[in-house]
Structure 1
């Protein structure tokens, strides 16, 4: 079978951010090439020109296409013949650079894979939505947890009515790495995440709270109505929240309790969700992603395992699997599933065909705007002592 079907070639990728020592840059680069449908050919890997050039060797990017700024990269890539220039740009920078890089890439005609949260604030997100719609390009937000096979399995089960009407969601994302004021040690990841100029109005809620919110929305499809939030900064002198609790009320009357923490001793990346319906309930944890618990009163608990050959797996769950049951499949593969879904759309665009822009398997511009609205409303609610504020946004009405 030809690579990428009718396109009959690999998609060409450029990476912005992700210089030497970066975690998320390496994740993007690995996820994008996992299915052999793309190749990393260019990059502007750091805002420091020397570091940008030096980091290129880490990714096997040729010296001629190791650029010292994203502006230079877009200009020179656009000047290349069509059969050489990049197809998409992956944005793996701190939050404050997501908007300018994504906007410039879209206006240059390139597709975009953008890390979350999508922008620095809601105003940028709403403007970027207009740019995406005008450009006709593919735009994806890497809420990678939606790519896990059992998350997609659960989504299909919920939408098929296996849980009945959804009454409650309990979701948490608990970490402990910022229990001390790590940003004072010049640790790069802590420094920008705790800086409002680079991270935005929220700390833990922008970094991991958005993942928790997005996961509940993706799995249930419930439309949000109102939100009440209390954010806190427990490490003295820190400028942004490092802990928070939120209640979300959905339009059908369901309630969600959401907790995000980066100051809980010994906790690593404990993203966990429980969903209660009138017929059944499910539970899933990211640190044990290949199992999901299904419960019904009066019945033995069922443990769903990630098994592409099992008759209980849904088509969407099977499609997200790459290896046989029993072999752990996790973070990189889930991330790659976001890329794979976006690649399908990129191929359609490149071959002159229409592609779905709203109801997509990958998180899109609408999800990105909604995530920024969630952050804004949580911050505002907390500043008003937990006042109930609207959580409806036109992005969610799509």
Structure 2
């Protein structure tokens, strides 16, 4: 049995939604244990959070710099193997770069950085150090997304022609950031979230999913970006026409003012022979519509799925798997890849795939390009990185 990987966490203290999700996901397969953390910019809150999580006093740190420097000095048998960064966007780059510079692998929330230039710097550092970086684009962890990707890449749908991806939410239909909603407050603050609101928060998910499933990259776009709710500082609604480098065209919609919607991420991909449809709120189902035969419905957990889809299924067919399990699949694949690395082995990158630093660079480039296009009077903007 391999040694458990020791995880340090930056951010995710008391009251933080996403930190708890990451900890549950990381612990699900028994491959990872939380060993240390700097859970808040407040040293007092960090200590309180660490104690609540049962960490020893000497592994709870007042800030991430102290954590990384102290952990580096510990014996190899005790120090953390990697750090999980679950802070708001503006606080991603510095701890990620410091971790890489000190020999620690990184798991990081999306979007990867605050600016595209920071993303490029991280990519350069990952290449220089040879360390692993996992970007938690959650939806890439769902088994039926893996199945969709497999079917497209095997050519079962023929050449891909059209890609439609939409992500409507309704939670920001009102000015919630002025009403004590902490999540809304930082996500709509340009100093913390960056230059994009809805497009940075959920548009990046939609763009990544389209590229991940199809293998085609966005090559140009024509965007309409809006701020619907008066008084909001960042976009809360937008859409874009897309062109892809493999010849497909498509449409991307991301809005957080679709009142009544929850997390209704939906992607449809059409090829020469048929099309597929996957909806995040019904994640165990993948629909395939054929041109010359009846519709097929694929379900998670069934033996007819591809090897990579089955690798990411956790329960017998008919048992719901969702958001935390998808997160856990990313952590598991990252952990198995890292364990292989530590043993001097080469991991199976097809089976153990997870979004990486290059996905992070493309995500930041998507934000830059779509905001630029939305502000431009020019019809089409070439996608640049």
Query: Match of 2:25?
Result: 31
For residues 133 and 378 of structure 2, what CA distance do their matches in structure 1 show? 34
SS at match of 2:212: helix
Aligned with residue 375 of structure 1, among 367, 370, 373: 367
Matched, 1:388 2:380: yes
Gaps of 5+ in 2: none
Distance 2:171 2:377 in 1: 27
Mapped to 1, the partners of 2:40 and 2:49 lie a distance apart of: 8
Query: In structure 1, how many angstroms separate the alpha carbons of the residues matched to 2:165 and 2:361?
Result: 21
Task: Output the TM-score relative to the length of structure 1.
Answer: 0.94
Q: 1:357 to 1:103 in 2, by over 3 A?
A: farther
Alignment of 1:7-46 (within 5 A): 8-46=2-40
Report the equivalent of 1:105.
99
Aligned residue among 46, 49, 63 for 1:52: 46
Q: What is residue 309 of structure 2 aligned with on the other side?
A: 317
Aligned-residue CA RMSD in angstroms? 1.6
Q: Map of 1:1-398 to 2, 5 A cutoff?
A: 2=1, 8-308=2-302, 310-311=303-304, 313-354=305-346, 361-385=353-377, 387-393=379-385
Gaps of 5+ in 1: 3-7, 394-398
Q: Assess, with a 3 A threshold, how the Cα gap between structure 1 residues 322 and 358 changes in structure 2: closer, same or farther.
A: closer
TM-score (norm 2): 0.97
**Cα contact 1:358–1:366 (8 A) shared by 2:** no
Contact 1:358–1:364 (CA under 8 A) maintained in structure 2: no
| Alpha-carbon distance change, 11 to 304 in structure 1, aligned in 2, over 3 angstroms | same
Report the number of matched residues. Answer: 385
After TM superposition, what 4+ stretches of structure 1 lie above 6 angstroms from structure 2? 356-360
Instruction: Quote the offset at 1:345 in angstroms.
Output: 2.2
> Equivalent residue of 1:295, what SS?
strand
Distance 2:246 2:81 in 1: 41
Closer/same/farther in 2, CA of residues 153 and 356 from structure 1, 3 Å limit:
closer
